[in-house]
A and B are shown apart, each in its own frame.
Chain A
Amino acid sequence: MADGGDKVAGALARLAGVRKRFGETQALDGLDLEVRPGELLAVLGPNGAGKTTAIALLLGLQRADAGEALLFGRSPHDLAARRGVGVMMQEVVLPDALRVHDLISMTRAYYPGPLSLAEAITLAGVGKIADRPYIKLSGGQKRQAQFALAICGRPRLLFLDEPTTGLDVSARETMWATLRKLVAAGTSIVLTTHYIEEAEALADRVVVLARGRRIAEGTVAEMRAVVARKRVDCSTVLDLATLEAWPDVTAAARQDGLTSITTAEAEAVVRRLLAADPALSNLEVRRAGLSEAFAELTQEAAP
């Protein structure tokens, strides 16, 4: 099969052109998403961007109105596909009269080759709460217990929907350390988060969603560069080829006599522009479009 086929086969999980509507809300609007073997993919986006819906589709909890969801090349409704998956959802109700170790044992039993109870408790760092009934746990401890349930089946692919919400700093550090360990051991992880810092700390690749669409995708370094990018507009006699040859210029374009330059180093470019063309006019420096999206994200995430 050609490239396209390899791409399909290479992804552990995949959404292709998926649309999903809840009443008046178009939760997903033609979303493409791919999870590759061994990566930690961070899915960033504000509330309502469609992150949770995307995961629900990959877990077979929702059916797409259009498009396709595949898990290990199968339908997510296929039990065999879900046997390779661990999951930590945002809103979850557990049989709360059970103790944490009971919940882990109950969940382990669903998997073909799970961790031992002791391994799961150690890896998730829930030793102190293992003997306590779930109903007696604090919000953060409940998240830690849910994390233990997510990893106890030794899944190849782990879905974590805002896993660190409500955790204190040390619990968050423990979870991050465990996630790094799991990735090093070959587990693929999909992590949704509000926090760009969390993606920066952990992710190999970042996908940004907004209003049910993918608005950006790349490595953390690429995303950081995109965030830093600015747009410089001006009327100048300098030609495009010259501008594009400048070291800090990412791209240059001209429309209706107005030149637009994209750069991560706006100050250096402006200084050079003014020096090279004393007659330059209509100068304007703006954030690039995508960074506006990021700014929206970070505002959303700000406490």
Chain B
Amino acid sequence: MTVLADHQVPRMTFGRLVRAYLSDAKYESLRLLRTPAFSIPILAMPILFYTFFGVLLAGSRAAGPMANLMFVGWTVYGVMGPGLFGFGILVAVERNQGLLTFKRALPMPAGSYLSAKLMMAYIFAIVVMAMLVTAGVTLGHVTLSARQLLTIAAVMSTGVIPACAVGLFIGTWAPASSAAAFANIVYLGMAFLSGLFFPLPPAMQAFRPIWPTYHLMQLAMASAGLPSQGSAWGHAAVLVAVSAGLTALAARKLSRTG
């Protein structure tokens, strides 16, 4: 089989490999930005809701701790969206449509499909946070220092990973036709039941720790030195466990069905 040397195709340099990953992330972001059904709810809803509920309805009565709490809550809601929907709906639809088939025939690097979506989720989450911070500081009576805001933003951006994991789990297990419904139910359900938008009645508070959104919110509050519940390490551990567990379940499903 020595003649096979003739068959060797040019090797991908490390630089070109990195560029392939970055290019996939770029075009994934670009195409979703150009898909209003995705970009409008993801980019516009958090800032609209926050402005309406957190700024206009709450007014100056909410200045101080209450304003800060609402700001953090809506930010959790905002950063969870891109990952949850980017994976939750798109993976289900693309598995069904055959977009993945074409990409599998191409020499797309392993993992680039998922890493492109992850990077897209980060980019969208950062844009959402930038809008919320701007609104919170200028209109929302948020009384956080720049240092606290940066800490919150940094912690929040790690929240993209559990959001993607929840989305990936939905995207791999839900049928394409109902993945959008599942993603919406999970998204809104998590947000309400973990008390992101308003304080829950005492009876429901005990169940908040079921939801990763609750842990992300508490972790962000604790990191910025705001009043929080539970231990920061505990919240971080839950988020890591949720991410790892759901990704493993999704990977199992993907490896069986492709």
Query: Chain B nearest CB: distance from A11 CB in Å?
Result: 9
Chain B residues positioned under 8 Å from A60 (CB to CB): 104-105
B99 close to A111 (CB less than 8 A): no
- Beta-carbon nearest neighbor of B21 in chain A: A109
- Contacts A12-B7, A97-B35 given: A79-B27 contact, CB under 8 Å? no
A82 close to B98 (CB less than 8 A): no
A48 touches B (CB below 8 Å): no
Query: Chain B nearest CB: distance from A69 CB in Å?
Result: 13
- Beta-carbon nearest neighbor of A10 in chain B: B3
Complex CA distance for A85 and B32, rounded to whole angstroms: 28
B1 close to A102 (CB less than 8 A): no
Complex CA distance for A12 and B3, rounded to whole angstroms: 11
A112 interface neighbour in B13, B34, B105, B106, Cβ under 8 Å: B13
Chain A positions 72 through 98: 1 when the CB is less than 8 Å from some CB of chain B, otherwise 0: 110000011111110101011111011
Chain A positions 1 through 30: 1 when the CB is less than 8 Å from some CB of chain B, otherwise 0: 100011011101000000000000000000
B9 close to A79 (CB less than 8 A): no
Which residues 25-82 of A sit at the B interface, judged by CB distance below 8 A? 59-61, 72-73, 79-82
- Beta-carbon nearest neighbor of A76 in chain B: B105
A9 close to B3 (CB less than 8 A): yes
- Size of the B side of the interface (Cβ < 8 Å), in residues, is 37
Chain A residues positioned under 8 Å from B24 (CB to CB): 106, 109
Chain A residues positioned under 8 Å from B13 (CB to CB): 112
A109 interface neighbour in B7, B20, B98, Cβ under 8 Å: B20
The interface of chain B, by Cβ under 8 A from chain A, is: 1-4, 6-13, 16, 19-20, 23-24, 27-28, 30-32, 34-35, 94, 97-99, 101-102, 104-110
Contact sample, A vs B, 22 pairs, CB 8 Å cutoff? A8-B1, A10-B3, A61-B104, A61-B105, A73-B1, A79-B109, A79-B110, A81-B9, A82-B106, A83-B10, A85-B105, A89-B105, A92-B98, A93-B94, A93-B99, A97-B31, A98-B30, A109-B19, A109-B20, A110-B20, A110-B106, A112-B9
